[in-house]
């Protein structure tokens, strides 16, 4: 049975990768992830706001010590609230890289290119095998043009076009998709509530559709992220076309050993269905051989609506 796969030019023992999460903040937990069988490890992100504050003393072009800047930035974490300073992050990458044998991926999270090139080189020099760039921006300004919003919004106007362009300029992989956290409202205290809720299988369908659409149409690696909570979810992601599957919420919910549950579950499913290699499974349920994927998606949209039946009207 061959569970090996390729991601970002690395040959991995199996598709399941420990995604960025608080588990990556300590060396002990990173070792636990490797011992549990993680094929690769993505470290938690360093944020643009940390980078610009350390390099320029500003966040989003505002000085936090000026009255106007203080008002704008009052909701942002203080530098003491981050797990690492930029310098400490590079040191953490170096320690992790020296302690584990699986690929270690650093992560930068932000909205612009400010100071990123400098810090991405530092992460590379610290020994990271690769870098994951998280573009996280909710465009809340109604005056911002559509051209900019397309680049920064959670859902691009054409995901396929964006991924194709990334492929053309040499990106090694694309992660489908970043999770966007939505603040809630406390109706008694009349305040905004922020809560990092773990993902569930309900979030997977969006990922499956785009993995299926993109598989076979780009050369870069396709990595599923978000909604892989069970063995069945992991199998579906590979069937749709994922080269690798990032798991974070499931590991926070069940512990690092859940990586082995997902890996062994995939192997058992493959044995039951007569597959001897992951490469034979990947993309079996993709749209690679569909001449008009848009028409195919439209047809299933119509079928879904027309097949719905209510018990009572």
pLDDT tens digits for range 110-157: 776 656 677 788 888 899 999 888 875 444 444 433 324 222 233 555
> For residue 269, how far is the Cα from the chain centroid?
25
Predicted local confidence at residue 136, as pLDDT: 56
Predicted local confidence at residue 68, as pLDDT: 66
In a domain, 236, yes or no: yes
> For residue 22, how far is the Cα from the chain centroid?
14
Q: Are strands 244-247 and 16-18 parallel, antiparallel or unpaired?
A: parallel
Flag whether pLDDT at 174 surpasses 60. Answer: yes
In a domain, 188, yes or no: yes
pTM: 0.85
How many separate domains does the chain show? 1
In a domain, 293, yes or no: no
Q: Cα separation of 160 and 166, whole Å?
A: 10
Q: Cα separation of 98 and 101, whole Å?
A: 8
For the chain, what is the mean pLDDT? 84
Range of the domain at 274: 5-287
In a domain, 154, yes or no: yes
Indicate which CATH number applies to the domain containing 22: 3.20.20.70
Handedness of CA 9, 13, 14, 18 (dihedral sign): negative
Handedness of CA 192, 193, 196, 201 (dihedral sign): negative
In a domain, 149, yes or no: yes
In a domain, 310, yes or no: no
In a domain, 298, yes or no: no
pLDDT in tens, 73-108: 667 777 777 888 888 999 999 999 999 999 999 988
């Amino acid at each position: 049975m061959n569970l090996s796969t390729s991601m970002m030019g690395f040959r991995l023992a199996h598709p399941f990768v420990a995604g960025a999460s608080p588990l990556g903040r300590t060396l002990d937990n990173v070792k636990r992830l490797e011992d549990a069988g993680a094929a690769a490890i993505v470290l938690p992100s360093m944020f643009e706001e940390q980078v610009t504050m350390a390099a320029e003393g500003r966040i989003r072009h505002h000085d936090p010590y000026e009255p106007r800047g203080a008002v704008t930035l009052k909701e942002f974490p203080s530098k003491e609230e981050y797990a690492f300073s930029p310098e400490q992050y590079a040191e953490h990458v170096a320690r992790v890289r020296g302690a584990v044998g699986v690929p270690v991926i650093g992560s930068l999270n932000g909205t612009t290119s400010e100071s990123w090139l400098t810090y991405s080189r530092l992460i590379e020099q610290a020994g990271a095998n690769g870098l994951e760039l998280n573009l996280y921006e909710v465009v809340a300004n109604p005056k911002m043009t559509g051209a900019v919003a397309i680049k920064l919004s959670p859902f691009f106007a054409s995901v396929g076009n964006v991924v194709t362009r990334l492929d053309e300029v040499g990106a090694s992989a694309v992660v489908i998709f970043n999770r966007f956290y939505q603040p809630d409202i406390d109706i008694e205290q009349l305040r905004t509530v922020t809560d990092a809720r773990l993902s569930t299988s309900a979030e997977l369908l969006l990922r499956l559709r785009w993995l299926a659409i993109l598989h076979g149409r780009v050369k870069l690696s396709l990595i599923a992220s978000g909604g892989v909570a069970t063995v069945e979810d992991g199998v579906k992601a590979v069937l749709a076309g994922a080269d690798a599957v990032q798991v974070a919420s499931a590991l926070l919910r069940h512990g690092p050993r859940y990586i082995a549950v997902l890996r062994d579950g995939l192997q058992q499913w493959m044995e039951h269905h007569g597959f001897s290699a992951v490469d034979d499974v990947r993309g079996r349920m993709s749209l690679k051989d569909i001449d008009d994927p848009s028409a195919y998606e439209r047809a299933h949209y119509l079928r879904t609506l027309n097949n719905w039946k209510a018990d009572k009207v």
